Copies of this chain bind each other. A is one copy, B any other.
Amino acid sequence: MASTKTASNVAAPTQFLQVKGQSYAYRRFGSGPGLPLLFLQHFTGTLDNWDPAVTDPLASGREVILFDNAGVGRSNGTVPETIAGMTAHATAFLDGLGIRACDVLGFSLGGMVALQMVQDRAAIVRRLILVGTAPRGGEDIMHLEKPSLAHRIQDPSNRGYDVLKKIFFTSSPASQAAAEAFTRRLSQRKDDLEPPSGPAVAGAQMAAFREWEQFQGARFAELGSIHHPALVVNGVHDEMIPVHNSYRLSENLPNAVLVTYPDAGHGSLFQFSESFTRLAAAFLSADSEWAVF
């Protein structure tokens, strides 16, 4: 199916792809000389959680494809309890679309799926953008039960997007103003919305995080064989997947540039969407074997 004409996640219609009895919800919009860019989403996030300030500027140079993995939003089926299971769905989806090569932007959980994808199907991925994520064997991955996060998540006064404002951003006035702008942007889409994720999605994805923390043999060794150019991005105050996980990625991936943002948490790409999309577009447009742009 072709890219839709409305190059914004505010208005792009949700489409459905049937692959072997599985139905995947997705949106596809934008155009330009670049390869399609697949977006892989964070814990419990759906198509509606992609900030138009991130998707839309990137859609001006290429098609962007937003995707709900199995069991998320209006994609049917069961949420896998492993990153490998989610990755199998993501590659089946790309195969179903007939996409033989693309760039991938993985955020948080989505970054782990992106890392697994380049190991399982190296040829389908050209360039990787990994935001607020961790390698297999990373530490302190999405421990929402730890006190620093739990007291914000369980605050009984939380309404609507309040939790995202508290856990994707820092408590500084500047970061909280960016949080407000972020949630306003998410609220712009009024129709054709995805159902929010419930406890079953959260539980299965949390199991996948726990499995991803395990490793065998030399920690991070598998990263050494991923030669895809990678751009690794994180906020220095990310409490959900701390920045040291991004350090381990950029140290162990042989071809990765790291960018960190100040006064930013897990949602650094949303807080600094203008900078992020400018740097990401420069990285994606580089015609080189090297990540350096």
Judge whether A250 and B255 touch: CB under 8 Å: no
How many A residues have CB within 8 A of the partner chain? 23
A261 at the interface (CB under 8 A from B): yes
Which chain A residues numbered 230 to 273 have a C-beta less than 8 Å away from chain B? 236, 243-244, 247, 250-251, 253-263, 272
Whether B256 lies near A257 (C-beta < 8 A) is: no
Choose among B244, B251, B254, B262 the residue that contacts A250 (Cβ–Cβ < 8 A): B262
**Does A148 belong to the interface (CB within 8 Å)?**
no
A292 and B262 form a contact (CB under 8 A): yes
Q: Chain A, 41-79, contact with B by CB distance < 8 Å: what is the 0/1 string?
A: 000000000000000000000000000000000000000
Across the interface, do A262 and B253 meet the contact criterion of CB distance under 8 Å? Answer: yes
A161 at the interface (CB under 8 A from B): no
Instruction: Give the residues in chain B near A256, CB-CB below 8 Å.
Output: 262
| In the complex, A291 has a CB within 8 A of chain B | yes
Q: Cα distance A251–B243 when bound, in Å?
A: 9
CA distance A256 to B236 in the complex (A): 10
- A215: interface (CB < 8 Å): no
* Residue pair A257, B253 in contact (C-beta under 8 Å): no
**Chain B residues near A291 (CB-CB < 8 A):** 262
Tell me if A154 is interfacial: C-beta within 8 Å of chain B: no
Q: In the complex, which of the residues B243, B250, B254, B262 contacts A257, with contact meaning CB atoms closer than 8 Å?
A: B262
- A236's partner among B236, B243, B251, B259 (CB-CB below 8 A) is B251
Q: 6 closest A-B pairs (Cβ-Cβ)?
A: A258-B260, A275-B292, A236-B251, A272-B292, A255-B262, A256-B262
